[in-house]
Amino acid sequence: MKHKSKIVLVTAIGSLSGDIVIKNLINCGYKVIGCDTHPKSWIADAYNVNKFYQVPSSYEKNYLEVIIDIVQKENVGYIIPLTDPEIDVLNMNRTCFNEHVCLCISGENTIELCRNKLKSYNYLSSQNICSTIITFNKSSINFDEISFPVIGKPIRGRSSEGIMIFGSKELLYEFLITEKADNFVFQPFIDGKIITVDIIRDAEYNKCYTIPRRELIRTKNGAGTSVYVFYDKSFDTVCVKIADALKVDGCVNFEFIEDNKTGERFFMECNPRFSAGVKFSCLAGYDFIINHLNCFIGKQIDELGTYDNMYIARKYEEHITEKQNIRSNNQL
């Protein structure tokens, strides 16, 4: 019996990538069930999906149970999670879905490798395919090998949350004696510009395409709002090698930092999900959303044609999601 459902559950639709994910899926004839931790009236895109569910945070015990309920109730065929913590939970509970639904994320080991910054560093630095930033954890930190300032990042962080900068050995020592430091990695601070790469890989068809962009203006959460999309053949080759080494499936995004002094591009991380700015790459000419889904159902992904280098700026739009006529209620 072949899998036939064209119903997609997109989680965390309040995320920046939610809008383009929903639009492209609906344009392609998919029925989209959306969910988010916030109430419907707080999420503009909750009105653009076929059905919306408010769900607990993925940190809550009943998150998985609620997602499974939605999947069963709505006959969901595919799940596309948009945030890292949800990916962590779903990745660890794949067997709950295997029989019923296609979880559209990379393989279990790939997710673990991408989500753990120390494992990513150890693995990729051993592959010699890209420049990596020397990374330590609390127990391995070597003060002779690391220059200050030092940047501390949660080992399984999300959206630049919890990042700390230590200007001196003393400040870092002070932090290292805390329990919190157990869940951090430490790297030398590099002054540079962020480059995000949307990348799609289909191992079965041996296809892999990338669209990089320089993030010109970024929010504190690390989302680019003004970007420069460009093409660079040698950089594409490096990114494809990384994707192959990580055994990426579908669309993910890489973040690099380009050293202001040397111009060297250091791999920072692979986020195993759509980037917040995946719409930039879609505007540049490649539908990463539908092709991501195609990677999981055996359909060949589109070729990436040539595209122009371009500046793209994002603007926000306001929507009234719910009106409450309090004045007339009071008059009654």
Partner 1 sequence: MYQVLDKNKTKPDEIIAFLNSINDDFPVPLNRVTDIIDYANKLLKFGDLFFIKNDSHIIGIIGGYNNDVENRIGYISILFVLSNYRGKGIGTTLLETFIETSIKQGMNLIHVNTNRKNEEAIRLYKGKGFVLRESGNVSEYTLIRQL
Which residue type occupies 232? D
In the complex, minimum distance from the CB of residue 144 to partner 1, in angstroms, rounded to a whole number? 36
Instruction: Please give the torsion angle defined by the CA atoms of residues 91, 94, 97 and 98, in that order, rounded to the nearest 10 degrees.
Output: 130
Q: What angle do CA 226, 231, 236 make, to 5 degrees?
A: 115
In the complex, minimum distance from the CB of residue 85 to partner 1, in angstroms, rounded to a whole number? 21
Residues 30-69 that bind partner 1 (CB under 8 A): none
In the complex, minimum distance from the CB of residue 99 to partner 1, in angstroms, rounded to a whole number? 9
Backbone phi, psi, residue 48, to 5°: -105, -5
Coil, helix or strand for 119? Answer: helix
150-154 and 184-188 beta bridge pairing: antiparallel
Q: Show Cβ contacts of residue 269 under 8 Å, excluding neighbours closer than 6 positions.
A: 114, 117, 120, 254, 255
Q: What angle do CA 312, 316, 319 make, to 5 degrees?
A: 145
- The Cα 214–Cα 258 span in angstroms is 9
Q: Under the criterion CB under 8 A, does residue 24 sit at the interface with partner 1? A: no
In the complex, minimum distance from the CB of residue 96 to partner 1, in angstroms, rounded to a whole number? 14
Q: Which of 109, 147, 237, 309 binds partner 1 (CB under 8 A)?
A: 109
Q: Under the criterion CB under 8 A, does residue 306 sit at the interface with partner 1? A: no
Q: Which of 39, 162, 167, 298 binds partner 1 (CB under 8 A)?
A: 298
* 106/196 with CB nearer partner 1: 106
The stretch among 62-70, 170-178, 192-200, 243-251 that binds partner 1 (CB under 8 A) is 243-251
15 within 8 A of 83, measured Cβ to Cβ: yes
* CA–centroid distance for 133 within its chain: 20
Q: Which of 65, 162, 299, 309 binds partner 1 (CB under 8 A)?
A: 299
Closest by CA position to 137, among listed 169, 180, 183: 183
Q: Under the criterion CB under 8 A, does residue 204 sit at the interface with partner 1? A: yes
Closest by CA position to 32, among listed 50, 17, 45, 13: 50
In the complex, minimum distance from the CB of residue 205 to partner 1, in angstroms, rounded to a whole number? 7
Here the tokens at position 67 are: 């997602």
Q: Which of 73, 169, 180, 247 binds partner 1 (CB under 8 A)?
A: 247
Q: Which of 44, 54, 74, 107 binds partner 1 (CB under 8 A)?
A: 107
In the complex, minimum distance from the CB of residue 83 to partner 1, in angstroms, rounded to a whole number? 21
* 257/304 with CB nearer partner 1: 304
In the complex, minimum distance from the CB of residue 1 to partner 1, in angstroms, rounded to a whole number? 8
For residue 226, give the H/E element and its range: strand 224-229
- The Cα 20–Cα 185 span in angstroms is 33
Q: Under the criterion CB under 8 A, does residue 2 sit at the interface with partner 1? A: yes
Q: Under the criterion CB under 8 A, does residue 296 sit at the interface with partner 1? A: yes
Q: Under the criterion CB under 8 A, does residue 180 sit at the interface with partner 1? A: no
Q: Under the criterion CB under 8 A, does residue 167 sit at the interface with partner 1? A: no
In the complex, minimum distance from the CB of residue 69 to partner 1, in angstroms, rounded to a whole number? 22
Binding site for partner 1 (CB under 8 A): 1-3, 98, 102, 106-110, 203-206, 244, 247, 249, 296-300
